[in-house]
Amino acid sequence: MPTLTTTDTIVATATPAADGAIGIVRLSGPQALPLLRQVFRSQHSPDASPAWRSHRLYHGWITDPATGHPLDEVLAVHMAAPHTYTREDMVEVQGHGGSATLRLIVALFTRLGARPAERGEFTLRAFLNGRIDLAQAEAVASLVTARTPVGVQQALGQLDGRLSGEIAAVRALLFDPLARIEAVLDFAEEDVPLPPRATLRDALAAAAARLQTILAGAARGLLVHEGARAVLVGRPNAGKSSLLNALLEADRAIVTPIPGTTRDVLTESLNLDGVPVTLVDTAGIAERTDDAVERLGVERSRAEIGRADVLLLVLDGAAGPSSEDAAIAAAIGKRPGVVVLNKADLPPRYPPAAAQNLLTTAPLCPVSALTGSGIAALRSTLTQLVVPTTGDAGDDLLLGNVRHVAALRRAADHLAAAQATLDSAYPLDMVTIDLRGALDALGEVTGHTVTEDLLDKIFSTFCIGK
């Protein structure tokens, strides 16, 4: 797990572990600059290390002090605490992006006394040193993994403290009634006046309303972060692969007139109104097949039906209805879906009413994957199914983390219980139990009430070097 200490100096590669134009090695801790002084030789003063003004790039070489051999020509920068990512002294060495070279530089710093950083340890130090709270720390990981521009904006809003500010406002609304009730309990002998229940109700109602406003963006926020899975299913030669290509506006799937061309699951990404959607092309589902490979493909197609968030039942509009279509529709059941009547460019042989009857609650979209007719309407229909339309668009950017949603819902439950207790004949001290429960749940998001196990779970998902 990440080490809960900031007394040593850590080192890691901060760029992907692959060859590239530039690679960055970063250090954080009290020995960052002394270590750099040992290995850096300036272009202008080959025999000495420069004066190292903070936040200024210097050109030179990383050299092994034991042998005098250079490892790489680099740009290096020292950043003095507290004006750094971790609020500690930091060093970044920007070298050529060869993975072998970067490993040599990291190994050199390690040999001289730095410790290899664990996953997320730089961001953990930023949290432990008070530069960011826990919600902002998790936004760093969300920013790295964002798959759409909307996802980037969502993560940036959280990194900027928008979610933290909203939670702080709810906590402030809860602290006042809790303090007033506890004052009565703690100083009973001094006749501290009992706060009116109506005043307490107003405070809890305001906190509950603000909390619900945050939660209103959870559905879209989670979709923006997690994405959705849309699976194309149908009998062989219905045009699923052609439809996938048409939706992507790119030739990603092999298309031939031969039924059963697709033998395995093919996945591609599609951006629908800021929501990353994984489009899944599956093998045609036939009632019987003697081909062992095709049979395995059919089994995988059926498994994908169970994993889908939305299903596209692709029908061959140039052929008549079949029992295979009905069997696939039965497997879909009442799951969200679209009936896609494909091959609209050919003479119609599939009555629209028969197609609609397969999934009576699903929208029907006639298309031609060959000509592109109806594809825009299908994308619009798919967007309506995948992307929630409730909630304010601005609030949608607040909440895109499953852990945050769970914690905030627990806070809302505690708050509702506190309101119910307040409305009953129970003593006021009973209200404090759920008020503290709500505050603890809110604190799990920002890190005010965080355990070492929770930190381990969160930061173990980060990249090494972040």
pLDDT of 93 above 50? yes
* pLDDT score at 288: 56
Comparing CA positions, the residue from 353, 352, 360 lying closest to residue 317 is 352
Q: Is the dihedral of CA 376, 382, 384, 387 positive or negative?
A: negative
Instruction: Give the dihedral of Cα atoms 341, 345, 347, 353; nearest 10 deg.
Output: 20
**Structural domain contains residue 460:** no
Buried b (16+ CB within 10 A) or exposed e, 11-21: bbbbbeeeeee
The answer to whether residues 32 and 91 belong to one domain is yes
**Structural domain contains residue 453:** no
In whole angstroms, give the CA distance from residue 319 to residue 284: 15
The answer to whether residues 124 and 150 belong to one domain is no
Q: Do the Cβ atoms of 366 and 344 come closer than 8 Å?
A: yes
The answer to whether residues 106 and 22 belong to one domain is yes
pLDDT of 255 above 50? no
Quick one: tokens of 241? Answer: 């692969």
Proportion of the chain above pLDDT 70, given as a percent: 86
pLDDT of 28 above 90? yes
What does the DSSP assignment read for 351-367?
-HHHHHHHSTTS-EEE-
**Residues listed for the chain:** 466
The answer to whether residues 168 and 99 belong to one domain is no
Quick one: tokens of 457? Answer: 């779970």
The answer to whether residues 242 and 365 belong to one domain is yes
* pLDDT score at 192: 61
Q: Do the Cβ atoms of 123 and 462 come closer than 8 Å?
A: yes
CA angle 357, 359, 363 (to 5 degrees): 100
The answer to whether residues 174 and 101 belong to one domain is no
pLDDT of 272 above 90? no
pLDDT of 44 above 80? no
Compute the mean pLDDT over every residue in the chain, rounded to the nearest whole number: 84
Q: What is the CATH number of the domain that holds 352?
A: 3.40.50.300
* pLDDT score at 295: 56
The answer to whether residues 374 and 400 belong to one domain is no
pLDDT of 207 above 60? yes
pLDDT of 90 above 60? yes
Mean pLDDT along residues 226-255: 81
In whole angstroms, give the CA distance from residue 224 to residue 228: 9
The answer to whether residues 402 and 374 belong to one domain is no
The answer to whether residues 359 and 233 belong to one domain is yes
The pair phi, psi for residue 76, each rounded to 5°, is -130, 145
Name the domain count of the chain: 3
* pLDDT score at 396: 46
| Strand pairing category for 310-316 and 228-233 | parallel
Q: Which residue has the higher pLDDT, 143 or 398?
A: 143
Mean pLDDT along residues 82-87: 94
The answer to whether residues 59 and 34 belong to one domain is yes
pLDDT of 262 above 50? no
DSSP 122: H
What confidence tier does 45 reach under pLDDT thresholds 50, 70, 90? low
pLDDT of 180 above 60? yes
Q: Do the Cβ atoms of 440 and 100 come closer than 8 Å?
A: no
* pLDDT score at 211: 93
What confidence tier does 463 reach under pLDDT thresholds 50, 70, 90? confident
What confidence tier does 320 reach under pLDDT thresholds 50, 70, 90? confident
Comparing CA positions, the residue from 212, 15, 8 lying closest to residue 98 is 15
**Amino acid letter, 107:** A
**Range ranked top by mean pLDDT from 57-71, 208-222, 290-304:** 57-71
What confidence tier does 417 reach under pLDDT thresholds 50, 70, 90? very high
The answer to whether residues 240 and 329 belong to one domain is yes
* pLDDT score at 251: 67
| Strand pairing category for 115-116 and 10-13 | parallel
The answer to whether residues 364 and 282 belong to one domain is yes
Q: What is the CATH number of the domain that holds 107?
A: 3.30.1360.120
pTM: predicted TM-score of the whole model, two decimal places:
0.74
Which position has the token pair 């992907």?
A: 16
Q: What is the pLDDT of residues 133-177, one digit of tens each?
A: 898 988 888 888 887 888 888 888 888 888 899 999 999 999 888
**Range ranked top by mean pLDDT from 158-167, 382-391, 410-419, 456-465:** 410-419
Contact partners, residue 138, CB within 8 Å, separation at least 6: 158, 401, 403, 404, 458
Burial class (CB within 10 angstroms; exposed 0-12, middle 13-18, buried 19+) of 252: middle
Q: What is the pLDDT of residues 328-364, one digit of tens each?
A: 899 888 889 999 999 999 999 999 999 999 999 999 9
Q: Which residue has the higher pLDDT, 356 or 422?
A: 356
78: domain range? 10-131
SS3 138: helix
